[in-house]
């Protein structure tokens, strides 16, 4: 009886081993990725980057192109800004400007602050954030929850001394062992995308990429990815700016370098610009063109991405998707276009899926009737 039980147990083990081998064979890609990633010995910060590049199926099928989105919402802090946050802090450390127990100060409209809050907690620094008081209460609450000291201040133009960035700089100047990370003009931001985002996109497409597009706030993502892809491809990969209403960069590019007065605004947060930042300046001449994306197109894409792709994306991500679709149509069938899916909709749901807010912005009519089932908030 004992020998019979032993044989049955051995047979079960053999079948289990066979099943395990079949499972591993069927998931070899995931295993290879996990093996390459290994263990993040530095904790949170080692989880930044290395995000998937996914096919936007419905848009790809409609355009006849491969339209791909870099899933930056899968960064541990929830957005593409985790990359810049890490680089500006580590740049300050390497420059000897920031030491143990120090304070990081930044002016930010949201996601950079959230990325900095995570990085500062992981590294043991204090964080002070100045931001326009037009930002969502959800972002402010989250920053405070993550331990940041937050100062919402009136939204005024950059050339006004009371602009949130200038207030952040003055705050840093009053403290010892403190640094203003200056995300707009600190080129460590751009370097993050030259060294990480660009190489990831090239590797994930095996170099089979024809064009890249994204919006810009600080300019780091667009400039860094453009610089890398242009150099790696010998100039073959094209790069286009995606610009929201109220930003001057589309007109700057289309006019050959004339900077217009900024006017109007957009439902998007954290993108659009009234000047050429130091992050963008070295690479703006590499751009092959630009798209101006209306809010009406952006909000429709928020709902289309949710319904067609199963992607719960923020407005800036969906503006990028609209631009990628228009770029694919411009290039014609058979091309590969990549964009950034900057963050999810979680921080904006109280607006994007609110009937009252959509009516206030005159955007309700932009959402097709069959997609209005997702408007679940009053």
> Would you please indicate which residues are annotated as catalytic (active-site) residues?
81
Token code pair at residue 357: 């807010």
State how far the Cα of 78 lies from the Cα of 33, in Å rounded to an integer: 21
Give the closest residue to 166 by CA, choosing from 185, 149, 147, 148: 185
Strands, sheet with 289-292, edge to edge from the N-terminal-most edge strand: 53-55, 66-71, 336-341, 211-214, 238-243, 289-292
Beta bridge partners of 127: 104
Token code pair at residue 181: 């990370």
Give 293's contacts (C-beta < 8 A, 6+ positions apart).
215, 242, 243, 244, 319, 322, 323, 326
State how far the Cα of 354 lies from the Cα of 375, in Å rounded to an integer: 6
How far, in whole angstroms, is CA 9 from its chain's centroid? 52
CA atoms within 13 A on the CB side of 181: 36
Token code pair at residue 216: 């810009």
């Amino acid at each position: 009886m004992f020998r019979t039980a032993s044989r049955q147990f051995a047979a079960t083990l053999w079948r289990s081993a066979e099943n395990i081998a079949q499972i591993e064979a069927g998931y070899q890609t995931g295993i290879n990725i996990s093996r390459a990633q290994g263990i993040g010995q530095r904790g949170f910060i080692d989880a930044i980057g290395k995000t998937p590049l996914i096919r936007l199926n419905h848009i790809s099928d409609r355009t006849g192109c491969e339209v791909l989105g870099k899933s930056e919402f899968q960064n541990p802090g929830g957005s593409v800004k985790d990359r810049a946050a890490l680089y500006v802090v580590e740049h300050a450390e390497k420059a000897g400007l920031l030491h143990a127990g120090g304070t990081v100060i930044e002016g930010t409209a949201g996601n950079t602050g959230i990325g900095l809050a995570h990085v500062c907690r992981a590294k043991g620094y204090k964080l002070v954030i100045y931001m326009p008081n037009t930002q969502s209460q959800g972002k402010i609450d989250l920053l405070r929850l993550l331990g940041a000291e937050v100062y919402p201040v009136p939204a005024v133009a950059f050339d006004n001394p009371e602009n949130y960035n200038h207030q952040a700089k003055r705050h840093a100047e009053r403290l010892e062992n403190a640094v203003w990370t200056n995300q707009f003009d600190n080129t460590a931001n751009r370097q993050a995308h030259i060294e990480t985002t660009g190489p990831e996109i090239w590797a994930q497409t095996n170099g089979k990429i024809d064009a890249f597009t994204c919006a810009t706030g600080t300019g780091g993502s667009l400039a860094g990815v453009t610089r890398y892809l242009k150099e790696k491809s010998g100039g073959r990969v094209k790069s286009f700016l995606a610009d929201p209403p109220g930003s001057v960069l589309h007109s700057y590019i289309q006019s050959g370098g004339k900077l217009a007065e900024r006017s109007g605004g957009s439902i998007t947060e954290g993108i659009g610009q009234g000047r050429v930042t130091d992050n963008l300046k070295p690479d703006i001449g590499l751009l092959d063109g630009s798209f101006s994306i209306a809010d009406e197109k952006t909000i429709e894409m928020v709902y289309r991405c949710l319904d067609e792709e199963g992607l719960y994306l923020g407005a800036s991500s969906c503006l990028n998707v609209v631009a990628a679709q228009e770029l694919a149509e411009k290039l014609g069938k058979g091309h590969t276009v990549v964009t950034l899916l900057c963050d999810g909709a979680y921080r904006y749901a109280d607006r994007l899926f609110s009937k009252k807010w959509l009516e206030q912005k005159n955007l309700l009519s932009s959402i097709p009737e069959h997609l209005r089932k997702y408007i679940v908030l009053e």
